[in-house]
Chain A
Amino acid sequence: GQQLNQSPQSMFIQEGEDVSMNCTSSSIFNTWLWYKQEPGEGPVLLIALYKAGELTSNGRLTAQFGITRKDSFLNISASIPSDVGIYFCAGRINYGGSQGNLIFGKGTKLSVKP
């Protein structure tokens, strides 16, 4: 099946550092979503992207929809301990007018050292 390659798999950073993670696919996507999941909870939507080149911010988080429509990145600036969690990218493949299922990357586990 279709896959999203998300990297890195995990990150251990110091509080205050900036973080960058990305997702790539061999298929063209028409939607990119970024979610965060904390232990014992379901994923929570952080940012949604709908157009190639789109750059969207949500507080200290910034995400971009790649120009090729096959990738997206998420940046977190000045990380704090509550940023800890697993970040997932998700997207829908463009089947030329029809929508595919929402596909998720395997996640980036973020640990922040105070």
Chain B
Amino acid sequence: KAGVTQTPRYLIKTRGQQVTLSCSPISGHRSVSWYQQTPGQGLQFLFEYFSETQRNKGNFPGRFSGRQFSNSRSEMNVSTLELGDSALYLCASSLRLESNYGYTFGSGTRLTVV
């Protein structure tokens, strides 16, 4: 059974650019959550999608957005990149929305903004 797949694994972007990250959940999982991980702040919740709708949102500016497709795949977009957006972006999937049975994480996309 394939795990959560995130692409690309590494990305280098210039300040001011925009970026799109992709996440394919485990087959059958309908919920996809996104987290930003930095050494200083740890894992910070960005948003959770279920059935193509954003159901929960963390405290991030509007430059961070996402969407989910009918096949449950999800994309995350960050516009007008800032140096502070450099981080590991993790996607996690679960069967249900706000699952209490834990999430399965992908290996992440390492974004570096220069």
Please report A residues at the B interface, Cβ cutoff 8 Å.
Answer: 1, 30-31, 33, 35, 40-45, 48, 50, 88, 90, 92, 99, 101-107
Query: Shortest beta-carbon distance, A52 to chain B, in Å?
Result: 14
B18 at interface (Cβ–Cβ under 8 A)? no
User: Contacts A41-B107, A45-B103 hold; do A92 and B98 have CB atoms under 8 A apart?
Assistant: yes
**Interface residue range, chain B:** 20 to 34
* 17 residue pairs bridging A and B, Cβ less than 8 Å apart: A30-B100, A35-B105, A40-B107, A41-B108, A42-B105, A43-B43, A44-B105, A45-B102, A48-B101, A48-B102, A50-B100, A90-B43, A99-B100, A101-B45, A101-B48, A101-B58, A104-B43
Tell me the total A-B contact number using a CB cutoff of 8 A: 47
Interface class of chain A by DSSP: strand
| Contact with A88, one of B33, B43, B92, B100 (Cβ below 8 angstroms) | B43
B28 at interface (Cβ–Cβ under 8 A)? no
Leading 10 A-B pairs by shortest Cβ distance: A42-B105, A104-B43, A99-B98, A45-B102, A106-B42, A101-B45, A31-B100, A43-B105, A42-B90, A42-B107
